[in-house]
Amino acid sequence: MIRETTVLNMCVLALVCLGVLMVYSVSAVSPRLGGSITTMEPVPVGGGVNAAKTASSASDTKTAAAAPDAKAAEAAPGAKTETAVAGDAAAPAKAPQASPIKSRDIGIFPKHVFYLVIGLILFFLLSHMDYHVLGNRRVLKYAVGAAIVLLLLVLVPFIGKYVDGARRWIRFFGFGFQPSEFARFALVLLLAVTLTRNHMRLGRFWSGMMPHFVIAGLFAGLVVLEHDIGIPAMMMATAYVMVYVAGGRKIYLGGIVVAGIGALVAAIVFIPNRVDRIAAWLDPWAYRQGSGWQVIQSLSSFAQGGLWGKGAGAGEQKLGYLPAAHTDFIFAIVGEEFGLVGTILVVLVFVAFTWAAMRVALNAIDLFGTLLATGMCAMISIQAAFIMAVTLSMLPNKGLPLPFVSYGGTALVSFLMMAGVLVNVGAQARVHKGQKRTTVAEAPRRPAMAA
């Protein structure tokens, strides 16, 4: 397993370095994020690939094609645009303008480095610590208990802080902590232990499979109370993958998929802003001055990047055009500054990471190691694929960070902890190859998955 653990280490290193570069690139030009620029001058709109225009034989009114100018086809939400649909008065485009803003604190880049150092320390410790320690009853009790308490505390007024209309953060001395990110790590640990101990009963529905989904549902439900459905969706998807790998019956898993889709549709229908996001995903141009603005600017970033990109730091969408350029849509900035070649390389790094993590799970010395590696791999890889698809408008917009790359202190630390566990599982598979190892429940390496 030397090859797999080396690939994991190299992929994490490459993504972390890219993240440092991109977070600095975005923060350096944004006063709101701690950059040195105190005002944002209007940026002229134009250049690039212009949207096609057609003339109407019935009138001289200009109509714009659906594709935007590669630079910025649409002005900021609420502003008039250079192109207009039929019946609208054409008006010169104005770039988003920001009033003079002073940085409120030290900025995001020093914070990103601070969290990165903490994450790398934990990555090193977990990659060298026997992962079976995580299955110890006392360690598991403290980890799960702390996660649940923190998820409850963030809901308490004056403790949990509102950010973008959701109460998800606890702040200490200017630094934020997001309990739901730590809860993901604790959930994978708990499911790995419970599935290892009870894998022989997974052929039954109520007493075998459902308790594990109830556990995942409890964690996900507490996060939903924070007005977040992205992390709960990742939790439930990871739980599903872990139950499948542990040997859950396929007919039951199929029914759970149907029920999960129904629950997701209900969650979308009964939360108004979720409906708007779906509508904007289906036709962002119809909502270009509202919820479709971010997706349009994301696509514009990729268009401007072309094949080779504008160069590191030379992107312009981060100058106020693309919201959340340092978090949810950082992959779009990668596309603008490093082009198609750069984005393909990033995708290949994640593919290599997923391949190595799956190989580690397949060659783990016991079922606990297999499930632990499976959960960590699913949590990272599914989210990475989801976020990259969102920035390309292949899936509806949902605010989640790109693993190892986006700014997001708690998420970065959590992902590095998961990667450290993966490396340790792979390292033990190499050292103890062919040897039997006592685990949480002395479970065999493989359950009867074909049953």
Mean pLDDT of 23-52: 54
| pLDDT at 352 (0 to 100) | 96
For 450, the token pair is 């074909």
Q: How far apart are CA 78 and CA 243, in angstroms?
A: 47
73, pLDDT greater than 60: no
13, pLDDT greater than 60: yes
Do 297 and 43 contact (CB within 8 A), yes or no?
no
| pLDDT at 164 (0 to 100) | 65
For 84, the token pair is 């207009």
Mean pLDDT of 422-430: 89
| pLDDT at 105 (0 to 100) | 54
147, pLDDT greater than 60: yes
Domain residues of the chain, as ranges? 2-29+106-431
| pLDDT at 431 (0 to 100) | 61
Q: pLDDT digit string (tens) for 240-257?
A: 999 999 988 888 898 888
Do 128 and 424 contact (CB within 8 A), yes or no?
yes
| pLDDT at 430 (0 to 100) | 65
Q: What percent of the chain has pLDDT over 90?
A: 44
> What pairing do the DSSP bridges indicate for beta strands 175-177 and 166-172?
antiparallel
| pLDDT at 41 (0 to 100) | 40
The per-residue b/e assignment along 183-198, b for 16 or more CB within 10 angstroms, e otherwise, is: bbbbbbbbbbbbbbbb
Q: How far apart are CA 103 and CA 65, in angstroms?
A: 39
Mean pLDDT of 365-377: 94
Among the listed ranges 115-119, 288-292, 301-305, 370-374, which one has the minimum average pLDDT value?
288-292
Among the listed ranges 73-87, 146-160, 314-328, which one has the minimum average pLDDT value?
73-87
Q: Which residues pair with 162 in a beta bridge?
A: 167
* Highest mean pLDDT, choosing among 22-31, 118-127, 311-320, 421-430: 118-127
Q: pLDDT digit string (tens) for 255-279?
A: 888 888 887 787 777 766 677 778 7
Q: Please give the angle made by the CA atoms of 277, 287 and 41, to the nearest 5 degrees.
A: 105
Higher pLDDT, 51 or 302: 302
Q: How far apart are CA 32 and CA 28, in angstroms?
A: 10
160, pLDDT greater than 50: yes
Amino acid at 195: L
Do 421 and 372 contact (CB within 8 A), yes or no?
yes
Q: pLDDT digit string (tens) for 328-367?
A: 899 999 999 999 999 999 999 999 999 999 999 999 999 9
Q: How far apart are CA 305 and CA 236, in angstroms?
A: 35
| pLDDT at 259 (0 to 100) | 86
Do 326 and 23 contact (CB within 8 A), yes or no?
yes
| pLDDT at 36 (0 to 100) | 53
Q: pLDDT digit string (tens) for 206-238?
A: 888 899 999 999 999 999 888 888 899 899 999
Cβ atoms < 10 Å from Cβ of 2:
9
121, pLDDT greater than 60: yes
For 301, the token pair is 């970033």
What is the pTM (predicted TM-score) of this model? 0.79
Q: Residues 338, 340, 342, 347: what is their CA dihedral angle, to the nearest 10 degrees?
A: 140
* Highest mean pLDDT, choosing among 190-204, 266-280, 363-377, 437-451: 363-377
Q: Which residues pair with 133 in a beta bridge?
A: none
For 218, the token pair is 């409890």
Q: How far apart are CA 190 and CA 184, in angstroms?
A: 10
* Highest mean pLDDT, choosing among 329-343, 397-411, 434-448: 329-343
Q: What percent of the chain has pLDDT over 70?
A: 75
What Cα–Cα distance (Å) separates residue 334 from each residue in 67, 212, 293, 301, 316? 21, 38, 19, 9, 12
Q: What is the mean pLDDT of the chain?
A: 78
